[in-house]
Structure 1
Amino acid sequence: MRRFFLKILSVFLTAVVLFTTTSFTANMHFCCEKLVSLSVTGEAKSCDEKLQNPENTSNKCTLGQKDCCSSDNFVNKGSDELQKVSFELDSLTFTFLKAFIYSYINLFEGLEENVVPFKNYKPPLIQKDLLVLHETFLI
């Protein structure tokens, strides 16, 4: 489960780095305050006169009006400056890490084996039930 979580986290972080460093533009076309067309690769298609609804008699907004439709651009500028992290170890930190890793690994050593000390022990054969013979019962 931990490996699966780490893989998901690494893919997510890779996608975040890719998204923040990549530049792209999205073109959007709105008619009657509704998104009609969205394009990332080129210009968004404008609304056609064919799509106009003849039953719409309100004066608010129709697809045929030129001032009702609008185009909008979304620009994401990627950054070229990535912060590189330097990791320097001095001798005390390296010694501490080495001791910590060694003790952590040896902490779980031998836990896979389930040692049963009385594995080869055979119980004695009981001739008579002594509790019933002496009439001692736990209540």
Structure 2
Amino acid sequence: MAETSRLILLICILTSLVFISPAQTCLDYPFPGGEVFHSCTHLPVLDASLHWTSFPSNSTVQIAYRAAQTPTGWIAWAINPMGTGMVGSQALVAFCHSNGSMIAYTTPIPSYNPSMEPEEISIPVSDISTVYVNNEMIIFAVLGPLD
């Protein structure tokens, strides 16, 4: 029961993003691996988009967060399941390593001066990866199952 409640909470948080952004123009985005997502919202202030598909049968949500960025920059997307604001957020981070490989990992944001070092977060995350294509960085991940 708690697992279902947490999944519903996560889906509600993601769905609420639709109501704070303009019309969805991101559904036609051609992902490099051919991935398809059922929902998305454009985040104009960040020049970014969040794409997701929920899977109630196994209490997971597959996401892709993409943002305009230079090859030497970084991106992060975070969710705060316990409140609002930055502190307490659970983040997914991506950047291009100095050796040219793309790196994606999770990190908690416990303060306004977080370490940003790779660390497990309170939300289960699997299949995290990142790519840099067409002047955008994209983080892919599966969130859940939540217990």
User: Structure 2-normalised TM-score?
Assistant: 0.20
Larger radius of gyration: 1
User: Structure 1-normalised TM-score?
Assistant: 0.21
Between structures 1 and 2, the one with greater strand share: 2
